[in-house]
Structure 1
Amino acid sequence: MPPDDCDHLLLCFPYSGCGASMYRQWPDRIGDTAVVPLQLPGRETRMGEAHYGTYENLAEQMTAELGPVLDRDFSVFGHCGAALAAFEFARRMASDDTRSPTTCFVSSQVAPDDGPYGRFLDMSEDELRVVVVNLLGLVTPTKRLVDFFVKVLVDDLAANKVYRPDRSTTDSFEIRAIGWSADVEIPHGLMDGWARWGRCTSLVLDGDHQAFVKAPGHLLDALQAGVEADTRAL
């Protein structure tokens, strides 16, 4: 549960193939905002649960689960594929005017109508297996462990591939599109399409595709500044 003395929540969606622990290097709070890593079904502490299937299904499920803790202003953050999951959740919440997010931070991802985009989407399971082994960072990971993570990654990528939201825009929350200067996976120049989906502010931060994992100071500053600016604008 988030601390009671924080005025704002930042709900952080894990990216493809990962769980909430990917945010373990992030602080518990950014100013008056509590950082809340979300655990999605089918991984880590929820590995016994079925995969959500689509971002639309995930948004519906997370809306029901998070309702009791969304007793204050909140924003969402997602990187790469998780940006789309966060965006769909924000859209779902915005349909209820009393619980619309303040800001939707989308990092290193093209707009929904410009996708699906990314080299991982076209990889075979054997190629994804190599990716998983490298991500795990273990000298000799067991086949069972690798198989499990590959299955999660494949299912997450499948959700990305079929995401085709309706083209309706929303002014209920601010979209803040964060690109990265040295990102070769999703070059920041491909992110301009987010402006078609609502009120949008774009920025480019120094770093590569994985820079966000370590919660660099300039990212935290951008998140805090965005939340504060969008809260004042309400």
Structure 2
Amino acid sequence: MSRPAPAPGTDPWLPFPPPAPVPAPEPAHSHRARARLLCFPCAGQGASAYLPWQRLLAADVEVVPVQLPGREGRATEPAHTTMEGLMEELLPVLVELTAQTEAGYALFGHSLGALVAYEAARRLEAAGRVPLGLAVAAQRPPHLPLDREPVHDLPRAAFMTTLGLYGQVPVELFDDPAAVALAAAALRADFTLVETYAPADGPRLRCPVTALAGLADTSLPPRAMRAWQDLTEGPFTFRPVPGDHFFVGERTDEVVGVLRAALG
């Protein structure tokens, strides 16, 4: 039996339905179908991080934030620690979701979300649903080895301190011990997934790839983001952006502008 078609706002994976399109000033474009942009958040974050994008892109793009287990409204669910386990649950949702759009779809992921978006794109292409594009931010491409020791199996205090040193958690989090305790379990699951993910052999992507790098990201040299080019046969665009590992939330207008241009 096939899975019922997911509807943003009624499916736990898709808690935030995109707003109605803003009427365009040119009548010729007022009824143009909008491309659908599936957005995957960074480690420790939830889908609500992309709510501002829904407003900013409403005229051109249908932004659909994807909520992974273990955060926000799904905080009581265990977070996935393997990409394979996550994809077993998530891929059927995405297959149905990408079949519903007339104007095509694209994927965006930040940090952890970049790896999830990439693996989703691979599997969707294999299912015959080639995206308009994949955009990734602040994450090494998965064919490159880690340039540091893994952190996911460190004791909690050392784990959180190390993430802080790498600039992978906001420094203000450490001002609240309760928040640290709450975040540690979810972050550990996320970093376990990131540090153990090894893509299976397969063809390169066919879709265009855009890689965005924070110029002050201490956890990832911007030049490493250029290696995403190795993973696609399609066009590749590299865009450095001012900011650290969290530039996606801090430079929203600039990032959204890059994505709008990429989707044409």
The residue that corresponds to 2:225 in the other structure is: 191
How much is the aligned-residue C-alpha RMSD, in angstroms? Answer: 2.6
SS at match of 1:42: coil
Return the offset for 1:176.
1.0
Change (3 A) 1:133 1:209: closer
Q: TM-score, normalised by structure 2?
A: 0.74
SS at match of 2:207: strand
SS at match of 1:28: helix
Counterpart check, 1:34 vs 2:68:
no
Q: Give the percent of matched residue pairs that are identical in Structure 1 and Structure 2.
A: 29
Change (3 A) 1:118 1:156: farther
Deviations 1:65-90 (A, max 9, x none): 23443211111111122211111111
The residue that corresponds to 1:170 in the other structure is: 204
Return the offset for 1:129.
3.9
CA distance in 2, matches of 1:219, 1:135: 23
SS at match of 1:100: coil
**Counterpart contact for 1:108–1:187, Cα < 8 Å:** no
Deviations 1:2-44 (A, max 9, x none): 3565511111111112211233443435241122221101221
Q: Which has the higher strand share?
A: 1
Counterpart check, 1:50 vs 2:78:
yes
CA distance in 2, matches of 1:166, 1:187: 25
Q: Which has the higher helix share?
A: 1
CA distance in 1, matches of 2:50, 2:149: 23
Comparing 187-196 with 156-165, which one deviates more in the overlay? 187-196
Q: TM-score, normalised by structure 1?
A: 0.83
**Counterpart contact for 1:104–1:175, Cα < 8 Å:** yes
**Counterpart contact for 2:19–2:55, Cα < 8 Å:** no
Change (3 A) 1:176 1:118: farther
CA distance in 1, matches of 2:136, 2:256: 14
Return the offset for 1:136.
4.0
SS at match of 1:78: strand
**Counterpart contact for 1:78–1:106, Cα < 8 Å:** yes
The residue that corresponds to 2:248 in the other structure is: 212
SS at match of 2:107: strand
User: 1:73-92 residue pairs with structure 2 within 5 A?
Assistant: 73-92=104-123
CA distance in 2, matches of 1:35, 1:41: 19
CA distance in 1, matches of 2:187, 2:92: 24
Change (3 A) 1:153 1:135: farther
The residue that corresponds to 1:232 in the other structure is: none
**Counterpart contact for 1:76–1:103, Cα < 8 Å:** yes
**Counterpart contact for 2:122–2:205, Cα < 8 Å:** no
**Counterpart contact for 1:26–1:215, Cα < 8 Å:** no
Structure 1: segments with no counterpart, 5+ residues = 229-234
User: 1:1-234 residue pairs with structure 2 within 5 A?
Assistant: 1=8, 2-3=18-19, 5=21, 7-30=34-57, 31-70=59-98, 71-72=100-101, 73-97=104-128, 99-117=129-147, 121=151, 124-129=155-160, 131=164, 134-136=171-173, 140-142=176-178, 145-198=179-232, 199=234, 200-228=236-264
2:97 maps to a residue whose letter is V
- Structure with higher RCO (Cα < 8 A, 6+ apart): 1
Return the offset for 1:163.
0.8
SS at match of 2:220: coil
1:109 maps to a residue whose letter is Q
Return the offset for 1:155.
0.7
Rg bigger for which structure? 2
